[in-house]
Structure 1
Amino acid sequence: MKKLLTILFVSFFALFGFTLSPGAASQKVMWDNLELKPGQIGRVTILQQTSLFKVQVGTSGVKLFDPVRELKPGEVYRVYGTKTIQGYAPLYDVGGSFYVIQSTGHNIGHLKYETPSKAKLALVNNN
């Protein structure tokens, strides 16, 4: 009897459990080979070695840019926002208070920023 109940429960879950979940109906929105996530506005492709920074507020209230690690050419990161602080080049928010800085100095062109089509953004934000 116990075996029969187990088989019925597993069968019921297999047939109905997966189709009743709200996430099962949503489709992934792909942009080239990267899945678009809600809130994402673009992507950054690293072309030359550059630093990933963590932005923290110091004791004096000034924002500090602490380098976390070096990013290698070919790495791709989702971008969730952009900022431009006076006197700095654009900052790309890659999530978790981490930023990549588009340098205007000697290593200009070390990353490529791209945005998806408005249609793809609308699809991902409607799911």
Structure 2
Amino acid sequence: DWQKKVGQAEITPTSMANGAKELLDEVATGKVTGEEERYSHTDLVDFKANVEGAQKAYELLKPIASKNDPALAAELDKQFGAMNTLLDKYRADKASYEFQSYETVKEDQRKELSDAVSALGEPLSKLAAAVAK
């Protein structure tokens, strides 16, 4: 039954753009705070996975967004780059997907991560409108 429903799901550019924003909102509300993984302290892995998911959706929509709103596409490229560079600072092993424990991330570093999420979230919230034009 589930497989039948998945095959019938309607995925539109707007729903993809909104999904990307929802992934980033999830980072802002649960992962940056450290509440979601309070015992395992693996928040940064989840954080990175959500950013990658949002970025993949954006990359699929980028041809349309670049045509309809080139300034927005340029800003998203910049902000995704900045977010990925920042997250890379917390990798435990640069060659793998392993990140340091979130309990080692200090409050000022958490604020920096939160600010980066906000800086990316603002232009990402405009992506749905850009692809719907």
TM category (shorter chain) comes to: under 0.3
Task: Kindly indicate whether structure 1 or structure 2 has the higher relative contact order, using CA contacts under 8 Å at least 6 residues apart.
Answer: 2
TM-score (norm 1): 0.26
Which is strand-richer, 1 or 2? 1
Q: Max radius of gyration: which structure? A: 1
Bigger share in helix: 2
